[in-house]
A and B are shown apart, each in its own frame.
Chain A
Amino acid sequence: GDSVTQMEGPVTLSEEAFLTINCTYTATGYPSLFWYVQYPGEGLQLLLKATKADDKGSNKGFEATYRKETTSFHLEKGSVQVSDSAVYFCALSPGTYKYIFGTGTRLKVLA
């Protein structure tokens, strides 16, 4: 079945460091891919998405490219801030009601 695998956290970085959070997926067909972010005490909110191969989603300095050949959708940011501390979820939707979420990666950014 469809699935999403994320790197385990927590990830701890210093402010202005480069961030990569790995996400790979298994799906039949051509799913849409998403990154959601969850700040402490809040619900998830969409960070970025890509709906077809080679698309790049971007928002707030974060980027992720839909790589069909490697079935990956890694999240990157060139310079993280303390305010980026949160839990990040990779998700896919195969084109139905279903959204399949990864287990989440906690990011902690130190000043």
Chain B
Amino acid sequence: NAGVTQTPKFRVLKTGQSMTLLCAQDMNHEYMYWYRQDPGMGLRLIHYSVGEGTTAKGEVPDGYNVSRLKKQNFLLGLESAAPSQTSVYFCASSYLVIGTDTQYFGPGTRLTVL
């Protein structure tokens, strides 16, 4: 039982390049989330999904796209990377969404955009 895994762990991009971050969970969770973590700002929600085939915008969705083609996977895409997207990205999943359930986090992806 690996929990939540993220690929890659580190990445350096040049401005304008694209990439996809992969999140996988093996807990059969319905809900998945992508956050970014920046110094002094805590975690901010980028996009989330309430089930296979569904996605929705969070607090800071601009410049990102997501897909949830399979229940266990949640992909975060950057079509044209910008230096402002330099951050640590965390994926999380949870079973229930009613606000009492624990979110399980992946180890993070550190992205630098030059």
Binding site for B on A (CB under 8 A): 4, 31-32, 34, 36, 41-46, 49, 51, 89, 93-99, 101-104
Contacts and interface: CB of A to CB of B under 8 A. Distances in A.
A99 B107 contact: no
Contact of B42 (A31, A49, A94, A104): A104
Interface stretch (B11-19, B65-73, B93-101): B93-101
Contacts of B102: 34, 46, 49
Contacts of A93: 99-100
B90 interface: yes
B105 A44 contact: yes
B42 A95 contact: no
B4 A31 contact: no
Contact of B41 (A41, A51, A94, A103): A103
20 contacts: A32-B99, A43-B92, A43-B106, A43-B107, A44-B43, A93-B100, A95-B98, A95-B99, A96-B97, A96-B99, A97-B33, A97-B48, A97-B56, A97-B97, A98-B45, A98-B99, A99-B33, A99-B45, A101-B42, A103-B40
Interface of B: 4, 31, 33, 40-43, 45, 48, 50, 56, 90, 92, 97-100, 102-108
SS of B interface (majority): loop
Contacts of A94: 99
A49 B100 contact: yes
B4 A43 contact: yes
Contact of A99 (B40, B41, B103, B108): B103
A89 B35 CA distance: 14
Nearest to B88: A43
B43 A89 contact: yes
B99 A43 contact: no
B101 to A, nearest CB: 9
Contacts of A97: 31, 33, 48, 50, 56, 97
